[in-house]
Amino acid sequence: MERLRGKTVLVGVTGSIAAYKAAELVRWLVKCGAGVQVIMTRAAQQFLTPLTLQALSGRPVLTDLFDLGLESEIGHIHAARSVDLVLVAPATANTLAKMACGIADNYLTTVLLAVEAPVVVCPAMNHKMYTHPATQDNLAALRRRGVWIVEPASGPLACGEEGHGRLADLSLILETVCRALTPQTLRGKRVLVSAGPTWEPFDPVRFITNPSSGKMGFALAVEAARRGAHVDLVSGPTALPDPPGLITHHVTTARDMEHVVRMLAHEAHLVIMAAAVSDYRPEEAAPHKFKKDDADLEIRLVRNPDILAGLGKDKKPGQILVGFAAETQDLVRNATEKLHRKNLDLIVANDLTQPGAGFRTDTNVVKVLDRGGGVEEWPCLSKEAIARRLLDRIEALGTT
């Protein structure tokens, strides 16, 4: 999560049994390159020691509003002014009530009254406490003020009951932090992204495919969601987990992908086709497994539908359509021809023969071509960085 690199995150830990998960959360934030300052309430220290979080964060943990050393320069105000984001995880019903009412009776709640940075809150409590009208009213008040709420998960609770109140998965919390740190430039927009390969079977256990990992498409979908867009990700078979906080549609064949993409494209402001769709499929798929013998096996291939060309033909006014081109020769010429033939606004082209480019890598080396003949050559970058640059380039078109 490169979005966290160089950011300062203040983590507030309150008195929930889920406080022990704060240690792993702090560890992940530091691993992502963030500087972490922890504040613990007195109740939180009953579940987890400040020494643990100090060791993980590399900074003294703030606990006492009246500590003469830490407060010699009005430390709580300095803490509020020096952070990029405040993350309260876990957040108890008591702390939520104090936040909603503006009560400042400990180090954390005092900082929260003074902070101007984004605030992310992760409730964790008994399900009856969470669903109580008072708690829901407090959460509604915080939402109105722009606080990001990470809804708790359902499942077994520490009290032995089961329900809605478990601290959300750490991956969802981290993704929400990234979104809160990202300008919401695509809020109100619908974005459709395709990713991964397609599988074209010729019997029940064998298929034709390509080495696409789906990483580029997934990175684009995540970045669009971080910018506030409603994102539909249409993915062929990959080993990647579904990105948190957006809708993933799983498909297998090119015809499956065409059906889902065409259904969703009508409402999309932006369509990015990053999937490596198989150009051909077996004419027939055998109902039973082919048995190996001494004879050669011949399979007749037929063309799959050209999803991107179909989208370009039916593109609605104002919609932006972006394609990808993976080539091994004549990169710019082939990509330019594809750009115009398929009525694209931009095309991202990469030469599979270059080091750091192509399938199953965490990096890529691309050229971005536009309809006016412009060609931007980008250096070898992580796919997350390419996703950020590409969406910046798309937003510069001004029609999303």
Distant-in-sequence contacts of 41-46, Cβ < 8 A, 24+ apart = 41/12, 41/13, 41/14, 41/15, 41/95, 41/106, 41/107, 41/108, 42/15, 42/106, 43/14, 43/15, 43/92, 43/94, 44/13, 44/14, 44/15, 44/16, 44/19, 46/15
Q: What is the average pLDDT score of the chain?
A: 93
Structure confidence at residue 355 (pLDDT): 85
Q: What amino acid positions are annotated as catalytic residues? A: 159
pLDDT at 78 over 80: no
Higher pLDDT, 376 or 164: 376
HSE (CB half, 13 Å, CA atoms) of 175?
A: 21
Q: How confident is the model at residue 74 (pLDDT cuts 50, 70, 90)?
A: very low
Encode pLDDT of 295-331 as tens digits.
888 899 999 999 999 999 999 999 999 999 998 899 9
What CA dihedral angle connects 330, 331, 333 and 336, to 10 degrees? 160
pLDDT band at 149 (very low <50, low <70, confident <90, very high): very high
Going from the N-terminus, what domains does the chain have, and what CATH number goes with each?
2-180 (3.40.50.1950), 190-395 (3.40.50.10300)
Mean pLDDT of 222-228: 97
Mean pLDDT value across residues 354-373: 90
266 phi/psi in degrees, rounded to 5: -60, -35
Does the pLDDT of residue 282 top 70, yes or no?
yes
pTM for the structure as a whole: 0.91
Under the banding of pLDDT at 50, 70 and 90, the label for residue 400 is low
Q: What is the pLDDT of residues 39-68, one digit of tens each?
A: 999 999 999 999 999 999 999 999 988 765
pLDDT score for 245: 86
With a pLDDT cut of 90, the percent of the chain lying above it is 84
pLDDT bracket for residue 75 (50, 70, 90): low
Residues 178-204 have a mean pLDDT of 96
